[in-house]
Structure 1
């Protein structure tokens, strides 16, 4: 890679997109943290800025002056190598620094980055810039879904924006795409950007299978609810059944039964469930139970990648039956950036595809997302295999 105007433009475009996501917010929305998994918007704005300051400006920019000595403690996420940090559950207690100071921080760091990249074309630095851009894009997706959780748990259920196409309809007819048994190549296979967890391209043997070319819709999922799917223990893993009983789960997240009709909270506010849209905000537990009810199963991530040319994807993160594990010959980076992916390869399931919250120029067929089995605040859905 060489430094070009387009790479710097990509950086500046990404910085602006993050701030555009926050434009509809009221100032009070920036600091709310309803649950530990959700970070306040102000924290996302600061953390994505700290990433560039910590990993690029401090080691590479001559005579760089740190904006605020406390910000590494405030905006470090999980990098043990870097030092102490605010406990994740306490991010919502950060009434200070102010929102304005965080925006000042963003301007300060972005300006310093522009100066640095006008003078330096070191290859290692350019690689870090690309990682930083995509790191911020990951946080754009988290920022959107965290904002939805924050507003969707406000008793008034306020609207965020009416312009996001949150419930896209798949117009094509449902078909089963059959793939033959054989050996398939899995993993990233180009010089374009990818994360280290996509590398170690390797061969896998797959038995014959058929995969649906459509995601499961709200209408199909409503049939599962109506058939008593949440009350049939035999459809669920033991841990999933405990989760249903403990949390009294009866429907996807954001669904509300009002006078016998199903509504859900969307970015545009409370509205009737669109029966033709793909179901979303379901946990792995729910995806597995639904597949059991249909006499099918979820695809492995390898089946999904082998078949992804045969169906449209990117509207929902799709649960797979694969544990999040390293590929053969996986190598994590030295230093703090080595904590980016490898340390999370335990007790999680792989998600494939992307979602309506995924920013442009970010996802690809080999992209591996990952979450714990009970989480559902992301735009998670499913397609079936038989």
Structure 2
């Protein structure tokens, strides 16, 4: 097979689009400006989908690179199917284009492992389908009042679909990480560390803060409503755990010592013979990793990535700490002690720029810790947005007053102890799909996702900063 080599940003100017949004809040935009912004966000998502699928040939598009993932061509057509259902049919009230494929691209009807056996659209047909859907969706955007119904107010449904597509772009990026063969994605290195000698941790005093949101126009149902939460005093790592620090745990026999692992974690580690983060290999006296087809030494100063919840929990126990709760993570990210209010992002209310965080698949790797001093939270915590999703100790549960919207299957069916919450986004996430309130969730065994973590610990009266 001959692979097509293409830069990730061949089809899209990430520098122009990476700020993630308008300079003013969506609620303050005129309808004309809101339409223009929404079109730009949809275009950005499509540019990324095209880049990720055009980077390989048709043989690679239809291949299943891992039973954990769909063929890339399934993701592409699924993106179009969801856009057709919500924007063309529901919002626009138009005639269905391809009702015959609704079931094929229903993620709840067909698990990923079985999708290659389905009569899927081929690459050319899938591309043509998503292009036709997009033309009709843009016509709907132009003609639909962005008010009235909940799904059209402030262009919510369009924002939801843009987020959905970007989430699948991150999923497709994870598929690229799992594929074998020569590198086909290329991007510049992230910026170097700008600040060094950061403190190991930041103490967050006890007190209440407002968690979640009731006002963010494109926030999804599980982020709502805003509610007050009291959090005891705690300390949290200033930065995510790095590759060098995690290697200390591995080299100290952390994977061979059941003291650090939960029963479920130890059983999973033992059954699958896990001895290091996914894609790590010991060679020549040091650790190496495979990253999008490139074999390279594990960087000491980048956040560790591709670790499961179980691995993160075991490291925290070995380090004499624990994982933060979801409420602790959000307080560290959003709470401003000078004003007592919760910010949209760690740095304030402005949308992300390339100086704030490593987002948008601009670099295809985490940045070194200390690389984004403009993204620091009011409490002094760094790199809470971008780089790596961060595992928390919390189960995925609804907030008090939760209302499923616009459909139960987005969040409600996943609530429960089976899933753990991740926060903050990764280098593979787009700004439209990452906020200080955004909640991701996954099974605690997952390692193919771009996940890392930071640790926390309890503090008591008399400790420094309390």
Q: TM-score, normalised by structure 2?
A: 0.75
What is the alpha-carbon distance in structure 2 between the residues aligned to residue 167 and residue 249 of structure 1? 32
Which of 162, 178, 202 is the matching residue for 2:203? 178
> Residues 34 and 164 (structure 1 numbering): CA distance in 2 closer, same or farther, change over 3 Å?
same
2:223 to 198, 201, 204: 198
2: CA distance, partners of 1:332 / 1:318: 25
Contact 2:104 2:120 in 1 (8 A): no
Aligned-pair CA distance for 1:358: 0.5
Judged with a 3 Å threshold, the aligned counterparts in structure 2 of structure 1 residues 338 and 226 are, in CA distance, closer, same or farther, namely: same
User: What are the ranges of 5 or more consecutive residues in structure 2 without an aligned counterpart?
Assistant: 1-26, 334-376, 458-466
Is the 8 Å Cα contact of residues 65 and 175 (structure 2) preserved in structure 1? no
In the alignment, which residue of structure 1 is the partner of 2:411?
341
**Structure 2 CA distance, aligned partners of 1:132 and 1:365?**
20
Alignment of 1:1-386 (within 5 A): 2=31, 3-61=34-92, 64-66=95-97, 68-78=98-108, 85-94=109-118, 96-121=120-145, 123=147, 124=149, 125=152, 126-149=155-178, 151=179, 154=180, 156=181, 158-163=182-187, 165=189, 171-175=195-199, 176-188=201-213, 190-267=215-292, 269-308=294-333, 309=377, 310-311=380-381, 312-313=383-384, 314-333=386-405, 337-346=407-416, 347-386=418-457
Instruction: Measure, in 2, the Cα distance between the counterparts of 1:384 and 1:166.
Output: 24
Which has more helix, going by share of residues?
1
Report deviation, 1:139.
1.1
Distance 1:193 1:178 in 2: 32
279 and 121 in structure 1: CA distance in 2 versus 1, 3 angstrom threshold: same
Cα shift at 1:289? 0.5
Deviation track 1:7-59 (CA, whole Å, cap 9, x = no partner) reads 22322232222112223222222122244431211111111110111122123
Shift of residue 189, structure 1, vs aligned partner = 5.1
Give the distance between the partners of 1:343 and 1:202, measured in 2 at CA.
Answer: 22
Deviation at 1:221, TM superposition (A): 0.8
Corresponding residue SS for 2:229: strand
User: How far apart in 2 are the matches of 1:75 and 1:166?
Assistant: 35
- Is the 1:164–1:267 contact (alpha carbons within 8 Å) kept by the matching residues of 2? no
Shift of 1:108: 0.8
- Offset at 1:141? 1.2
* Structure 2 Cα separation of the partners of residues 167 and 246 of structure 1: 39
Q: Cα distance 1:363–1:96, how it changes in 2: closer, same or farther (>3 A)?
A: closer
Structure 1: distance between partners of 2:185 and 2:195: 24
Structure 1 equivalent of residue 349 of structure 2? none
Deviations 1:217-265 (A, max 9, x none): 1111111111000010011000100011100000000112234432111
Over 3 Å counting, the alpha-carbon distance change for 1:170 and 1:30 in structure 2 is farther
Q: Distance in 1 between matches of 2:397 and 2:288?
A: 37
Distance 1:207 1:96, change over 3 A: closer
Structure 1 stretches lacking a partner, 5+ long: 79-84
| Distance in 1 between residues matched to 2:397 and 2:188, nearest whole Å | 33
Count of residue correspondences: 372
Q: Give the deviation of 1:75 after TM superposition.
A: 1.3
Q: Work out the CA distance in 1 between the residues paired with 2:415 and 2:177.
A: 27
* RMSD across aligned positions (CA): 2.1
Distance of 1:383 and 1:202 partners within structure 2 = 25
Q: Distance in 2 between matches of 1:369 and 1:165?
A: 26
The question of whether the paired residues in 1 share the 8 Å contact of 2:92 and 2:144 is answered with no
Q: Which secondary structure state, in structure 2, belongs to the residue aligned with residue 250 of structure 1?
A: coil
Following the alignment from structure 2 to structure 1, what is the Cα–Cα distance between the partners of residues 316 and 216? 37
Q: 1:246 to 1:167 in 2, by over 3 A?
A: farther
TM superposition shift of 1:278: 1.0
Kindly indicate whether the alpha-carbon contact (under 8 Å) linking 2:35 and 2:142 is maintained by their aligned counterparts in 1.
Answer: no
Residues 222 and 411 in structure 2, CA contact (< 8 A), matched pair in contact too: yes
On the 8 A contact 1:236/1:289 being kept in 2, the answer is: yes
> Are the counterparts in 2 of residues 170 and 214 from structure 1 also a CA contact under 8 Å?
no
Mean Cα deviation higher: 93-102 or 271-280: 93-102
